Amino acid sequence: MMQSTGRTPVAILGATGLVGQRLISLLSRHPFFEVAELAASSRSAGKPYGEAVNWQMAEELPAALAKLPIHPCDPSHCRSGLVFSALDRSVALEIEQAFAQAGRAVVTNAAPWRMEADLPLIVPEINADHLDLIERQRKQRGWPGFIVTNPNCSTIGLSLAIAPIQIAAGVDQLIVTTLQAASGAGYPGVPTLDLLDNVVPYIPGEEEKIETETKKIFGSLIGEQVEAATFLAAAQVHRVPVVDGHLMSISVKTRQPLDPLEAIDRLRSFRAPREVAELPSAPVPPILVRGEEDRPQPRLDRGAGNGMAVSLGRVRSCPILGLRMEALSHNTIRGAAGGTLLIAELLHSRSLLP
C-alpha cells in the first residue's frame, strides 16, 4: 500500500490493460481516491507495474506507481474497499464475485454481469436510482460487498445522446450505426491489416449489448425490479481506423412529436441531477450540440469535457423515423474508465463504499 493522504485507497484489477491504464491516468490527481493497489493476471503478478505494463497513455506513468508491485487478482491480496475492475470478460465473473464476497465494492467495466437482474447498470446522469438494486443484490446473494456495472462503451454514449429525447418525447424506435475506434478492442486488439485502408463491419457481441443494455438503463425501478424500457433498438456496428472515439449515426422515432429544433433545445439544456453534476468527473454539460455541418469528428471532439461529454451534430429530421443525429463519445474515457470512475464517485458521495 502507498502512504495515506486522506483519500480513499482503491485497487485496480486488470491494471495493465488499456482501461486499467486509463483509470490510473484519471486517478492520478483525484480528490476522492488514490490508487493503492494494482492487480493483474498471474503472468504479471509480482513484477513492478512499470515493468509489466506496456504503457500507452499520452501522460507519463507516475513514478510512484511504476514501482508498485502487481498483486494477484485475489481479495486476500488486496485491502482496498473500493475495487475498479478492468478485467477481461473471461475471468471477470469469478474474480469479481470473490471480491464482493469479501466485502468489497466492485465497480466493473466487464460485460458478463451487466444484464443480471439484481446488478445495477449505471449511467449516473440517467439512472442513479438503479443503485437501489445494491441492497437487493446483497440480500439475495448474501454478499457483504457488491458489484455495480458500467455499460458497454457504445451504449453509454448512445444512452446519453438519447436521454433528453426519452425524457421529452419517449423513444419508440432506435436505429444506430456505429463507427468504433480501435482502442475499444484493447491491446493488442485489432491487427493493423484489418484496419489499414479498411473497415470491419462487425464486432462480436457488440450489437446485442447495445440493443439490450440501453433498455435496462432506461428501465424503471419498480420495487426491487428494473422493468426494461420497451422501445425497439437495432444496432449495426463497424470498426474504423480511429484510435479513440466512437461515432454513432442515430435515427429515432419518438412517441410524442419532437421537431429537430426542440430536440436540439432539449439536448443542450440537459443536465444531470445535482448529486451527479457535482461529482469531480461529471461533465457539465453532459451533452454538447455542435452547429457545424461536419462535426462531431473523433479526433477533434473526443476530448470534450475531458473525454466525459458526448458531442452531437447534424441533429435534423429523418424522413423515416423522424429524427436523426451523429453522436461521439470517448470510448476509453466516458465509455470505460471514466464511466466507471463516475459511478465510483457517486457511490462515494452516497456513502455506499465500505
Q: Which residues bind its own copies (CB under 8 A)?
A: 56, 58-60, 173-175, 177, 179, 182-183, 187-202, 211, 232-234, 236, 238, 240-243, 247, 249, 251, 293-300, 303-304, 313-314, 318-321, 324, 326
Please state the closest distance from residue 188 (CB atom) to its own copies, in A: 4
Please state the closest distance from residue 306 (CB atom) to its own copies, in A: 11
Please state the closest distance from residue 224 (CB atom) to its own copies, in A: 29
Please state the closest distance from residue 47 (CB atom) to its own copies, in A: 15
Neighbours of 347 (CB within 10 A): 22
Contact 326, 312 (CB under 8 A): yes
User: Which residue, 298 or 338, has its beta carbon nearer to its own copies?
Assistant: 298
- Indicate the helix (H) or strand (E) that contains 153: helix 153-169
User: Which residue, 82 or 235, has its beta carbon nearer to its own copies?
Assistant: 235
Q: What are phi and psi of 137, to 5 degrees?
A: -60, -50
Give the torsion sign (CA, 109, 207, 325, 230). Answer: negative
Please state the closest distance from residue 354 (CB atom) to its own copies, in A: 36
Residue 77 designated active-site: no
Q: What are phi and psi of 271, to 5 degrees?
A: -135, 150
SS3 188: coil
Would you state the cell numbers that stand for residue 253, as one nine-digit string?
Answer: 422515432
> What CA–CA distance (Å, rounded) separates 292 from 314?
8
Strand arrangement of the beta sheet that strand 33-40 belongs to: 70-72, 33-40, 8-13, 82-85, 105-108, 146-149
Neighbours of 274 (CB within 10 A): 7
Q: Show the CA angle centred on residue 23, arms to residues 18 and 27, nearest 5°.
A: 150
Query: In which residue are the cell numbers 429525447 written?
Result: 165
Please state the closest distance from residue 229 (CB atom) to its own copies, in A: 14
Please state the closest distance from residue 141 (CB atom) to its own copies, in A: 33
User: Which residue, 130 or 253, has its beta carbon nearer to its own copies?
Assistant: 253
User: Which residue, 160 or 179, has its beta carbon nearer to its own copies?
Assistant: 179
Contact 247, 157 (CB under 8 A): no
Question: Which residue out of 71, 78, 130, 246 is catalytically annotated?
Answer: 246
> What CA–CA distance (Å, rounded) separates 144 from 275?
25
Q: Show the CA angle centred on residue 245, arms to residues 254 and 53, nearest 5°.
A: 140
DSSP secondary structure string for all residues of 101-162:
HTT-EEEE--STTTT-TTS-B--HHHHGGGGGHHHHHHHHHT-SSEEEEPPPHHHHHHHHHH
User: Which residue, 135 or 292, has its beta carbon nearer to its own copies?
Assistant: 292
Strands 82-85 and 8-13, sheet pairing: parallel
Question: Which residue out of 71, 78, 130, 153 is catalytically annotated?
Answer: 153
User: Which residue, 6 or 319, has its beta carbon nearer to its own copies?
Assistant: 319
Would you state the cell numbers that stand for residue 157, as one nine-digit string?
Answer: 454514449
User: Which residue, 18 or 347, has its beta carbon nearer to its own copies?
Assistant: 18
- Indicate the helix (H) or strand (E) that contains 10: strand 8-13
Supply the residues annotated as catalytic.
Answer: 153, 246
